[in-house]
Amino acid sequence: MTASLFDQFADLVAEVPDEIVTHSLVKDVVLPGAGGEMGATIALITLDNGLDHTKPTTLGPNTLVELGRTLEGLRERARDGEIQAVAVTGKPYFLVAGADLTTVKKLRKPEHGAQMARLGHAAYDLLADLGVPTFAFINGVALGGGLEIALACTYRTVSSGANGLGLPEAFIGLVPGWGGVYRLPRLTGPEAGLKIMIENPLSNNRTIGGQEAFSLGIADALFEPADFLEQSLAWAGGVLAGRTAVERPHAVDPSADAAVGERWDAAAKAARALVAAKTGDAAPAPGKVLDVFEAGKLATQEESAELEVEALTHLMQTPQFRDTVYAFLDLVQRRAKRPAGAPDAKLARPVTKVGVVGAGLMASQLALLFARQLKVPVVMTDIDQARVDKGVAHVHGEIEKLFAKGRLSAGAANRTKALVSGSVSKDAFADADFVIEAVFEELSVKKQVFAEVEAVVSPECILATNTSSLSVTAMAEGLEHPERVVGFHFFNPVAVMPLVEVVRAPETDDAVLATAFVLAKSLRKTAVLVKDAAAFVVNRVLLRLMGEVTATFDEGTPAEVADTALKPLGLPMTPFTLAAMVGLPVAQHVSESLHAAFGDRFHVSANQQALIDAGIKGLWAPTPDGGQEVPASTLELLTFGDAPSTAEQVLTRAEDALAEEIGLLLAEGVVAGPEDVDLCMILGAGWPMHLGGITPYLDRVGASERVTGRKFHADA
């Protein structure tokens, strides 16, 4: 029996005996009209793990070895003239969803990481040089190594219905390690290549669809999903017969064109600036992607592969990768789909009409989300017709923008606009199943709103509040049916932020709670169950953090030192910038609410109030050279103590404050466990994925034990 190239990976395969294998199923297909009278025979590989369409196919060592051995067999058949081409596609809705992270995280030894990297290259190099043309038919999700399979082929088609295409490795703490860094930018140009490898992963792990993949030059042809495989095979037949010419206007070769080399360098420079802005250069993976990208500009495929193997081997051993896998796999992928404490979904009531109290910016965002995702009538109310008209017009305008960007068809845009209406009378809610208020953050105002709504809706209609810090229990007091009230707290901007805090008051019943969870899922949001306590989770933790930094500033720490002390965390923005974005009056109001609830742990800044009173929107002002400063006129308004801190002291103080607040929050039973705090902070506050969630970070730096005497995670 002929030895296989893949025999060398036997030890690696033995490390993961429980891997769910994605099998390489081969079927010969004759393409009439290609390759002469008899037609051409194409060997079609279908990647399938034998599970239902909700379980994605993934790539682990056993899967890659099977794929490699299959390709070795097909190479022999190609040499013998039995087949004239090879194609790869996937089971319904998936090409491949990337590496099997459950398996990969078990590979703790550096040599196993290196073997995993080399195994992928061994298999994909066969696809790239099989002796006959190879085709990838991208029928669905193609992430990471899944997209790299397609990139290794000679030609690619994509379904217009395919979603979830991308190279997300920078997001999960790795580099595209199986040829992606080399092949993608040579197909699409360096700018689009780095958009896929850097910008999208660092933008909430954004992916692209089939249409965009075709437009960028990743795929050579685009077909509708109904007969995608048939059309792709016919197209492949045309290519093999010479009837179909393949043009690649975006393809570049930086080693042959100095102008492309300049574009390459400029794209890398812009991407490094983006990484610094998004992560503070605290996450190692994006920088490694760019290192390989830059070093590979004039490299061969083989030389670039060695760079990828080296980077992948290194990153797989970093704590940031393991933390990211916890955050991404255990939290965002698993716990988010099975929320702790959520009632049985069968208890949920149907929602066929939604009411939104308020027509301001937040209310308008909510109305748009409900109309787009639920496709049910949404009616907005406010205190006068002008406000109502402005709110409805804003929603319609946002729908028009989505249409202009190609994200909605003309028909879908018109249907969505028709669903959104306004009224000055709450009588418009009479037949609503779910009414959410988004009015001024004042308890008396919200109580009045709920009393007015309850007077016109059915007893089964659910009353939801989007409050960020007020008591849901207090809002329900005095109502005829307090059991119908639930907190449903979104984060701004609503379209982007994936978290909803579902707040259960003592009298909230299971049917109402179940409806809230099902509704959140229908809105494509992640819901976390929280107990009714001041500011719930995200704002409580975030305001404690911001309060500590502000307190050090008020005590005499220079603004630059206080505001940049948290840079090692790689947070999305600095505390003072975040306060300005949220709005100083809003931040101050929530701080006052938390101070009233929890006392001096939550600092209420007299300096911040002075800025508010003077109409100043933020501490920092831009300078002519593109920097920032605290203007002298602003400093004149402020008073400071004489106890400045160093950046290290500010960071340690903030860490200890976070550990204390989260420890208290968990002791109060606000959420089921530290994992829910982590999930809330990642999805609601942009807490960096590479830190693995806030509680593992606090364990790692020792804050948990310094403050509470124990770690949040026993195995940390």
- CATH code (residue 497): 3.40.50.720
In the set 66, 148, 308, 661, the catalytic residue is: 148
Q: Do 613 and 525 share a structural domain?
A: no
How far is residue 219's CA from residue 156's CA, in Å, rounded to a whole number? 5
Residue 2 pLDDT exceeds 80: no
Mean pLDDT value across the chain: 94
In a domain, 678, yes or no: no
Reported as a pLDDT band with limits 50, 70 and 90, residue 37 is low
Nearest to 155 by CA among 217, 69, 77: 217
Q: Do 306 and 415 share a structural domain?
A: no
Q: Mark which of 499, 531, 563 sits at the end of a domain.
A: 531
Structural domain count of the chain? 3
148 included as an active-site residue: yes
Q: Do 294 and 176 share a structural domain?
A: yes
Q: Do 561 and 434 share a structural domain?
A: no
383 alpha-carbon distance from chain centroid: 37
262 included as an active-site residue: no
Cis, bond preceding 498 (omega within 30 deg of 0): no
Reported as a pLDDT band with limits 50, 70 and 90, residue 84 is very high
Residue 1 pLDDT exceeds 70: no
Residue 36 pLDDT exceeds 70: no
Q: Do 601 and 507 share a structural domain?
A: no
How far is residue 695's CA from residue 446's CA, in Å, rounded to a whole number? 34
How far is residue 531's CA from residue 505's CA, in Å, rounded to a whole number? 7
Rounded (10°) angle between helices 110-128 and 301-315: 150
* Residue spans of alpha helices (H) in 375-433: 385-404, 410-419
CB atoms within 10 A of CB 102: 18
Q: Do 542 and 524 share a structural domain?
A: no
Buried b or exposed e, range 77-95, using 16+ CB within 10 angstroms? bbeeeebbbbbbbbbebbb
Nearest to 170 by CA among 324, 313, 35: 324
Q: Mark which of 483, 501, 531 sits at the end of a domain.
A: 531
In a domain, 706, yes or no: no
- Which amino acid appears at position 110 of this protein? P
Q: Do 399 and 485 share a structural domain?
A: yes
How far is residue 283's CA from residue 688's CA, in Å, rounded to a whole number? 8
Q: Do 493 and 545 share a structural domain?
A: no
Q: Do 172 and 35 share a structural domain?
A: yes
Half-sphere exposure of 191 (CA within 13 A, CB side): 6
pLDDT exceeding 90 applies to what percent of the chain? 85
- Which amino acid appears at position 508 of this protein? T
Q: Do 637 and 506 share a structural domain?
A: no
CATH number, domain with residue 618: 1.10.1040.50
The tens digit of pLDDT for each residue in 420-446 reads: 999 999 999 999 999 999 999 899 999
Q: Which domain holds residue 485?
A: 345-531
Q: Do 453 and 578 share a structural domain?
A: no
Residue 34 pLDDT exceeds 70: no
Q: Mark which of 504, 531, 558 sits at the end of a domain.
A: 531
- CA-based Rg of the chain, rounded to a whole angstrom? 28
Q: What letter would DSSP give residue 133? A: -
Give the pLDDT confidence score for residue 309 in this predicted structure: 93
How far is residue 172's CA from residue 316's CA, in Å, rounded to a whole number? 10
Ordered DSSP codes for 158-200: EETT---EE--HHHHT---TTTHHHHHHHHH-HHHHHIIIIIT
Q: Which helix (H) or strand (E) holds 212?
A: helix 210-216
| Tokens read off for 2 | 């002929």
- Is the C-alpha dihedral spanning 201, 204, 205, 210 positive or negative? negative
Q: Do 401 and 305 share a structural domain?
A: no
Residue 38 pLDDT exceeds 70: no
* 222 contacts: CB under 8 Å, gap ≥ 6: 157, 158, 159, 160, 210, 211, 214
In a domain, 338, yes or no: no
Give the pLDDT confidence score for residue 716 in this predicted structure: 54
Residue 233 pLDDT exceeds 90: yes
How far is residue 129's CA from residue 628's CA, in Å, rounded to a whole number? 54
Three-state SS for 28?
A: strand
Reported as a pLDDT band with limits 50, 70 and 90, residue 415 is very high
In the set 66, 169, 308, 675, the catalytic residue is: 169
In a domain, 110, yes or no: yes
- Which amino acid appears at position 75 of this protein? R
User: Would you say 166 and 199 are in contact if contact means Cβ atoms under 8 Å apart?
Assistant: no
Residue 291 pLDDT exceeds 70: yes
The tens digit of pLDDT for each residue in 107-151 reads: 778 888 899 999 999 999 999 999 999 999 999 999 999 999 999
Give me the numbers of helices (H) and strands (E) for the chain, helices first please: 30, 19
In a domain, 689, yes or no: no
CATH number, domain with residue 104: 3.90.226.10
How far is residue 396's CA from residue 364's CA, in Å, rounded to a whole number? 10
What mean pLDDT is predicted for residues 28-34?
84
631 alpha-carbon distance from chain centroid: 37
* 168 contacts: CB under 8 Å, gap ≥ 6: 98, 143, 144, 200, 201, 205, 207
In a domain, 195, yes or no: yes
Give the pLDDT confidence score for residue 619 in this predicted structure: 94
In a domain, 709, yes or no: no
The tens digit of pLDDT for each residue in 609-658 reads: 999 999 999 999 999 888 899 999 999 999 999 999 999 999 999 999 99
How far is residue 120's CA from residue 100's CA, in Å, rounded to a whole number? 12
In a domain, 386, yes or no: yes
